[in-house]
Chains A and B, each alone.
Chain A
Amino acid sequence: MSLLVVEDLHKRYGKEEVLRGVSFTLEPGETKVIIGPSGTGKSTLLRCINRLTEPDRGRIWLNGEEITSPRVNIYRIRAQIGFVFQDFNLFTHLTALDNVRLGLIRVKRMPKREATERALRELARVGLADKANAYPAQLSGGQQQRVSIARALAMDPKLILFDEPTSALDPELIGEVLEVMIELAKGGMTMLVVTHEMGFARSVADEIIFMEKGVIVEQGPPEAIFTRPKVPRTAEFLRKITEFYGEQG
């Protein structure tokens, strides 16, 4: 059974139709990378999946449970879906440790001691055990993003959504975040990643989705997409983005 099923998702902001019928599935342990020009609804799609944005139409299932149903407890669902934001969104007033354990204590109602141990383990996993007591403002962008990944991981999510996790980073800080993500993918985490990092997409993704103007233009394994795309638009986009970002992203 697919972990995530997205069926015919539509979203409109005023006159602009951002999503025009998007459908795809995600298998357990799979990493799918969504690529495509800016403003084609990639971020909106991710936000619809944990309903930070309400889709206008279409249905989503997580582990067989329809999460677009009006009867579903969306808070319980969100706790099972990690979300990593482009601009990190660490809680400004909390240390790295508190950022990671807040959800454990308040949402999962875990005892404080246990939550602290868990949070420290997740911080160690992203290589930041020594920064537990640092505030976000005292961390580099790359470190902040790794804390935010630890925050998502601590909740034991069934999948993690990454919304351009390296786009706000200085080039020299991108690598450390990608390394963590590569480790996660290898470890069997289910991931849906919106990114312009073509090197990452090519080497880590099980499948690539190319989106444009609110629809999926083409999807398939990285080798197929990168070397023999079926749709001319995909080829054109890939040529442009490799010119701009370079092969390794």
Chain B
Amino acid sequence: MELVFKWEWLPQLGRGLVLTVELTAACISMGAVLGLLLAIARLYARGPIYWLASAYVHFFRGTPLLVQLFMVHFGLAGWGISFTPLVSGIIAMGLNTAAYQAEYFRGAIQAVKRGQTMAALSLGMTWWQTIRYVILPQALRLVLPAWSNELVYMLKYTSIVYLIGLPDLMGVGRTIASTNFRFFEVYAVVALIYLALVLIITFGLRLVEARIKVPGLGAVRQ
């Protein structure tokens, strides 16, 4: 069988690509903010806040992403809460990655030595100042390699949103392939585009890592 490639696929896939990138950026940012709060809650809070944060992390890490997406998009509609596919996608995947990011952040914050906190408090800094100016700057440097993985996973996981009807990179690929039946070629192009994106992200984050690197505060590369 001969391989076929058509340039006209690219503009369409390009539009899907834009959606994939937007979706990934929205989810990962939402997840970062929420994940950081969850990590802080699991480390420093007690009682109900601690339990809620822990339950949250266990629920979202312990159930399939696709189930979560369908619960948000189709499940909540049964309760009269309905979102556009894009909003459902951002919410479900943002909530999901928040749970994973929370665990990365928690590990990194715990890796910052206790003496650092002691020193900050001894200067008269409040807890929030200590977290903001001493713990987080170190924890974020430590977490970056693990966090890069999460970003890459997220980028690839967004490919499930075609199941709720979003024309992302995967969704557009599927539409093209199901009209011309060139499944192998179209999906190969889709795969290559994902791969290129992953390489760009990985390389970009290495540059960031090198830029914020501080002697003696090595990030653990996996």
Q: Which residues of A contact B (CB under 8 A)?
A: 50, 52, 75-83, 85, 87, 89-93, 102-103, 106-107, 135-138, 148, 151, 155
Give the shortest distance, in Å, between B95 (CB) and chain A (any CB).
Answer: 31
In the bound complex, what is the Cα–Cα distance between A92 and B140 (angstroms)? 13
State the main secondary structure of chain B at its contact with A: helix
Pair B214/A50 contact, Cβ less than 8 Å: no
How big is chain B's contact interface, by range? 20 to 34
Q: Is A75 touching B138 in the complex (CB atoms < 8 A)?
A: no
Question: Are B125's CB and A91's CB within 8 A?
Answer: no
Kindly list chain A residues whose C-beta atoms are within 8 Å of the C-beta of B129.
106-107
In whole angstroms, how far apart are the Cα atoms of A90 and B123 in the complex?
A: 12
Q: Is there a chain A Cβ closer than 8 Å to B124's Cβ?
A: yes
Within 8 A of A (CB), among B109-125: 113, 115-116, 118-125
Q: Is B134 positioned at the interface, with any CB of A under 8 Å from its CB?
A: yes
Known contacts A92-B217, A135-B215, A138-B215; is A107 also within 8 Å of B115 by CB? Answer: no
Chain A residues within 8 Å of B214, by CB:
92-93, 135, 137
**Known contacts A93-B214, A135-B216, A155 near B119 by CB under 8 Å:** no
Q: Identify B123's interface contact among A87, A102, A138, CB under 8 A.
A: A102
Report the minimal beta-carbon distance from A147 to chain B, rounded to whole angstroms: 11
**Contact at B118–A85, with CB atoms within 8 Å?**
yes
Contacts of B29 in A (CB 8 A): none
Asked if B123 and A79 make an inter-chain contact with CB atoms under 8 angstroms apart, the answer reads: yes
Given A103-B125, A135-B216: A87 and B133 interface contact (C-beta under 8 Å): no
Residues of A within 8 A of B141 (CB): 93
For residue A149, give the distance in angstroms from its CB to the closest CB of chain B: 12
Asked whether B75 is an interface residue with its Cβ less than 8 Å from the other chain, the reply is no
10 nearest A-B residue pairs (beta carbon): A137-B216, A79-B124, A103-B123, A83-B122, A89-B119, A89-B115, A137-B215, A78-B124, A107-B124, A135-B215
Report the separation of the CA atoms of residues A103 and B133 in the bound assembly, to the nearest whole angstrom: 10
Contact B133 A75 (CB under 8 A): no
Chain B min CB distance to A84 (Å): 9
Write out the residue numbers on chain B whose beta carbons fall within 8 Å of the beta carbon of A148.
119
Q: Which residues of chain A are within 8 angstroms of B118 by Cβ–Cβ distance?
A: 52, 83, 85, 89
Contacts known (A85-B115, A85-B118, A102-B133); A93 close to B125, Cβ less than 8 A: no
Flag if A75 contacts B137 (CB, 8 Å): no
Q: A91-B116, A103-B123 are in contact. List 14 more A-B contacts (CB 8 A).
A: A52-B118, A75-B126, A78-B121, A85-B115, A89-B118, A91-B138, A92-B214, A93-B137, A93-B214, A106-B129, A107-B123, A135-B215, A137-B214, A148-B119
Given A92-B217, A93-B217: A76 touches B119 (CB 8 Å cut-off): no
**Complex Cα–Cα for A52 and B134 (A):** 17
| 9 interchain pairs, CB-CB under 8 A | A52-B118, A52-B122, A87-B115, A89-B116, A91-B116, A102-B134, A103-B125, A107-B123, A136-B216
A153, B68: Cα distance in complex, Å: 55
B112 nearest in chain A by CB position: A92
| Contacting residues, chain B, for A79 (C-beta < 8 A) | 123-124
Query: Considering the chains assembled together, what is the distance between the CA atoms of A76 and B126 in angstroms?
Result: 10
Give Cα A81 to B143, complex, Å: 33
Q: Which of A77, A82, A91, A151 has the most CB of B within 10 A?
A: A91
Nearest CB in chain A: distance from B33 CB, A? 21
When the two chains form their complex, are residues B125 and A107 in contact, meaning their CB atoms are under 8 A apart?
yes
8 Å CB contact of A103 from B113, B116, B124, B217 = B124
